[in-house]
Amino acid sequence: GQQLNQSPQSMFIQEGEDVSMNCTSSSIFNTWLWYKQDPGEGPVLLIALYKAGELTSNGRLTAQFGITRKDSFLNISASIPSDVGIYFCAGWNSGNTPLVFGKGTRLSVIA
Amino acid sequence: DGGITQSPKYLFRKEGQNVTLSCEQNLNHDAMYWYRQDPGQGLRLIYYSQIVNDFQKGDIAEGYSVSREKKESFPLTVTSAQKNPTAFYLCASSPRTGRAGENIQYFGAGTRLSVL
């Protein structure tokens, strides 16, 4: 099936630093989603993207739908301790197929 | 409150035993999903259902079974054929599967299954 390559796999950053992560695919997607999972909980939707080139913000988070439609990016500005967790990208192409999820980026913030 | 409820939060299984994980939603969503999460493996789709009385296998359906007799309920049974069941199991729902904007999945809080 389709696969999403999410990178980096994990990252350790200092509080206050900016964070960038990305998700790439060999296939075109028509929807890109970004989720965050806190330890021991289910993922929660952060941002949804529906058009190539779209740039959407949610507080300190900004995500972009790549113009090739094969990638998406998530940036977090001025990280804080509560940003700790696993960030998942998800994509959808077409038809009655479920979302495809990346393997996640585990973010650790050092105070 | 509207949402997805998974129970129990923690579950222990003995060797050779079947166990059933519960998932209930009151969001009036047509589609429901079960995922398995192992460390570093992301979310792997076990089964999904787009409508009552219908379901499809995901990527790792072997050793699992599901039913969808009611719109709001999608229980997952981990059978004795699943030799490595220890994992975190997540249930999700969406208004639909195949329509942009309506296929956003909302997740429950998960059930952690361990083998005794």
Q: pLDDT confidence of A111, banded at 50, 70, 90?
A: confident
Question: For residues B1 and A84, what is the distance between their CA atoms, to the nearest angstrom?
Answer: 26
Question: For residues B78 and B99, what is the distance between their CA atoms, to the nearest angstrom?
Answer: 30
- Across the interface, of B40, B50, B90, the residue whose CB is closest to A42 is B90
Question: For residues A27 and A49, what is the distance between their CA atoms, to the nearest angstrom?
Answer: 16
Closest Cα in chain A, distance from residue B90 (Å): 7
Average pLDDT, chain A: 95
How confident is the model at residue B1, as a pLDDT? 60
Q: Do residues B38 and B19 lie in contact, with contact meaning Cβ atoms separated by under 8 Å?
A: no
Closest Cα in chain B, distance from residue A111 (Å): 24
- Going by C-beta distance under 8 Å and a sequence separation of 6 or more, which residues neighbour residue A30? A50, A69, A92, A93, A94, B100
Q: Chain B: residue nearest A39 by CA?
A: B109
Q: pLDDT confidence of A72, banded at 50, 70, 90?
A: very high
Contact A99 B109 (CB under 8 A): no
How confident is the model at residue B41, as a pLDDT? 83
Chain A contact set for B35 (CB, 8 A):
101
How confident is the model at residue B61, as a pLDDT? 97
Closest Cα in chain A, distance from residue B80 (Å): 25
- Across the interface, of A35, A90, A96, the residue whose CB is closest to B50 is A96
**Mean pLDDT of the A57-75 span:** 97
Question: For residues B18 and A106, what is the distance between their CA atoms, to the nearest angstrom?
Answer: 32
Determine contact: B92 vs chain A, CB below 8 A.
Answer: yes
Of B111, B113, B105, nearest to B3 by C-alpha is B105
Mutate to test the interface with B, among A4, A6, A37, A88 (most CBs of B within 10 A): A37
- Across the interface, of B40, B43, B101, the residue whose CB is closest to A101 is B43
**Residue A33 CB-density burial (10 A; 0-12 exposed, 13-18 middle, 19+ buried):** buried
Q: Which residues pair with A75 in a beta bridge?
A: A20, A62
Per-residue pLDDT of chain B (116 residues; tens, 9 = 90+): 669 999 999 999 898 899 999 999 999 999 999 999 998 889 999 999 999 999 999 999 999 999 999 999 999 999 999 989 999 999 999 998 888 888 899 999 999 999 88
Of A13, A76, A110, A91, nearest to B100 by C-alpha is A91
Q: pLDDT confidence of A6, banded at 50, 70, 90?
A: very high
Question: For residues A53 and A22, what is the distance between their CA atoms, to the nearest angstrom?
Answer: 14
- Across the interface, of B33, B101, B105, the residue whose CB is closest to A50 is B101
